[in-house]
């Protein structure tokens, strides 16, 4: 006769199997593949850093690329760089995302979009008390309101395209790991990036019937011209907390982002810490993958524990830093 211990050992995989089957049935929205080849991909902030690296990657995969930013000279340099790397000549669009009229005009010029990547972003780290309100508003306006302007301007054309082509379209929004956890020195930046999460969750419910799929990308520190500028001004404690996640190259962030975007993943983490953060902050976000859903269900408690360890570490660093003053 089988011992009760052996029986228990058999019950665990059986339970996991039942849980997995339940999740396969439950997870929504349904799986999707967003093709890139021969499609119009518009990338904001495509003249520098992550946006430029993404523009090169999608051009190399045979997409028609438009890049949008404020500075024409940098856009033209980026266009040359993309041409050199891939042979593709990208369309350049000059607009400040803070200006809804300019954004609408640029999108009219670009024509209907299949994949919209809202990647433009600014970051000025400073403690709230020392930061000028103007700088806080600048981040909210570019990172959050800019994304509103872009999506509103792009949606009618995108819906027309999905109807005509019968192909899934994508809206990808660049957040940050600082949009999953609040970080010292990032009150305004974190606020702008957290806000994008609410926008994206609500938007996915609104556009699913139009075959449009929303993704959010959550990179850690990434070597870009923007980061080099930011690092000149970062408070010491910001550096300490941010250092908990490894720095990445823009090309590696782009690999993860593109892979996730094509699978219509709602949450796209970029490194190991990002994968833990994604589980710890899964909340009520949509989930297409039953494997990831299983990891979320099983990992929730453990990741909360890991998160508490990180917070212990950060608050100890803050305490020590103040004690030294």
Ligand X SMILES: NC(=O)C1=CN([C@@H]2O[C@H](COP(=O)(O)OP(=O)(O)OC[C@H]3O[C@@H](n4cnc5c(N)ncnc54)[C@H](OP(=O)(O)O)[C@@H]3O)[C@@H](O)[C@H]2O)C=CC1
Ligand Y SMILES: CCCCCCCCCCCCCCCC(=O)[C@@H](N)CO
Residues with catalytic roles: 175, 189, 193
| Helix residue ranges per DSSP H, 181-289 | 187-207, 225-231, 236-242, 250-262, 272-280
| Contact call for residue 114 and ligand X (CB under 6 A) | no
Judge whether 181 and 155 are in contact, CB under 8 Å: no
Judge whether 288 and 266 are in contact, CB under 8 Å: yes
| Contact call for residue 45 and ligand X (CB under 6 A) | yes
Span 117-146, contacts to ligand X by CB under 6 A: 119-123, 142, 146
Q: What is the 3-state secondary structure (H, E, C) of 117-176?
A: EECCCCCCCCCCCCCCHHHHHHHHHHHHHHHHHHHHHHHHHHHHHHHHHCCCEEEEEECC
Q: Report the nearest approach of ligand Y to the CB of residue 215 (Å).
A: 17
For 190, what's the count of Cα atoms within 13 Å in the CB-facing half-sphere? 16
Q: How many residues at the interface with ligand Y, by CB under 6 A?
A: 21
Q: Report the nearest approach of ligand Y to the CB of residue 296 (Å).
A: 12
Q: Report the nearest approach of ligand X to the CB of residue 16 (Å).
A: 35
| Contact call for residue 242 and ligand X (CB under 6 A) | no
Query: What does the alpha-carbon distance between residue 129 and residue 235 come to, in Å, rounded to a whole number?
Result: 13
| Contact call for residue 278 and ligand Y (CB under 6 A) | no
Query: What does the alpha-carbon distance between residue 45 and residue 104 come to, in Å, rounded to a whole number?
Result: 16
- Part in contact with ligand Y (CB under 6 A); list of ranges 80-88, 92-100, 259-267, 300-308: 300-308
Query: What does the alpha-carbon distance between residue 281 and residue 284 come to, in Å, rounded to a whole number?
Result: 9
| Contact call for residue 276 and ligand Y (CB under 6 A) | yes
| Contact call for residue 303 and ligand Y (CB under 6 A) | yes
Q: 153 is in the binding site of which of ligand Y, ligand X, none (Cβ under 5 to 8 A by kind)?
A: none
Q: 269 is in the binding site of which of ligand Y, ligand X, none (Cβ under 5 to 8 A by kind)?
A: none
| Contact call for residue 219 and ligand X (CB under 6 A) | yes
Q: 286 is in the binding site of which of ligand Y, ligand X, none (Cβ under 5 to 8 A by kind)?
A: none
Q: Report the nearest approach of ligand Y to the CB of residue 317 (Å).
A: 13
Judge whether 41 and 15 are in contact, CB under 8 Å: no
272: how many CB neighbours lie within 10 A of its CB? 11
- Region of 49 please: left (phi>0), alpha (psi -120 to 50) or beta: left
- Part in contact with ligand X (CB under 6 A); list of ranges 149-157, 200-208, 217-225, 307-315: 217-225
Query: What does the alpha-carbon distance between residue 325 and residue 323 come to, in Å, rounded to a whole number?
Result: 5
Please report, as ranges, the residues that interact with ligand Y according to CB under 6 A.
Answer: 123, 176-178, 181, 183, 220-221, 227, 230, 242, 244-245, 273, 276-277, 280, 303, 306-307, 310
Q: Where on the chain is the footprint of ligand X (CB under 6 A)?
A: 44-45, 47-51, 69-71, 74, 96-98, 119-123, 142, 146, 174, 176, 219, 221-222, 224-227
């Amino acid at each position: 006769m089988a011992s009760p211990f052996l029986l228990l050992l058999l019950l665990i995989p059986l339970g996991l199997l039942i849980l997995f089957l339940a999740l396969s049935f439950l997870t929504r929205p349904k799986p999707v593949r967003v093709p890139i080849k021969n499609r119009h991909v518009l990338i904001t902030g495509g003249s520098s850093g992550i946006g430029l690296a993404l523009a090169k990657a999608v051009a190399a995969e045979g997409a028609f690329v438009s890049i949008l930013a404020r500075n024409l000279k940098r856009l033209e340099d980026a266009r040359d760089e993309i041409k050199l790397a891939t042979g593709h000549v990208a369309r350049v669009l000059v607009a400040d995302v803070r200006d809804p009229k300019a954004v609408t005009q640029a999108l009219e010029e670009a024509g209907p979009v299949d994949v919209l990547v809202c990647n433009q972003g600014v970051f000025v780290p400073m403690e709230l008390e020392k930061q000028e309100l103007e700088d806080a508003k600048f981040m909210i306006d570019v990172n959050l309101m800019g994304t509103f302007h872009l999506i509103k301007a792009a949606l009618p054309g995108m819906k027309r395209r999905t109807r005509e082509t019968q192909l899934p379209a994508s809206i990808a929004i660049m957040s940050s790991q600082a949009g999953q956890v609040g970080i010292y020195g990032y009150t305004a930046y974190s606020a702008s990036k957290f806000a994008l999460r609410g926008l994206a969750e609500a938007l996915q419910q609104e556009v699913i019937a139009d075959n449009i799929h929303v993704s959010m990308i959550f990179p850690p520190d990434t070597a870009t011209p923007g980061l080099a500028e930011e690092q000149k001004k970062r408070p010491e404690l910001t550096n300490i907390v941010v250092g908990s996640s490894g720095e990445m190259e823009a090309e590696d962030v782009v690999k993860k982002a593109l892979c996730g975007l094509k699978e219509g993943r709602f949450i796209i983490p970029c490194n190991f810490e990002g994968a833990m953060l994604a589980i710890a902050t899964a909340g009520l976000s949509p989930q297409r993958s039953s494997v990831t859903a299983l990891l979320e269900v099983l990992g929730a408690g453990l990741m909360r524990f890991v998160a508490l360890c990180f917070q212990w570490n950060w608050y100890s660093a803050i305490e020590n830093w103040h004690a030294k003053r």
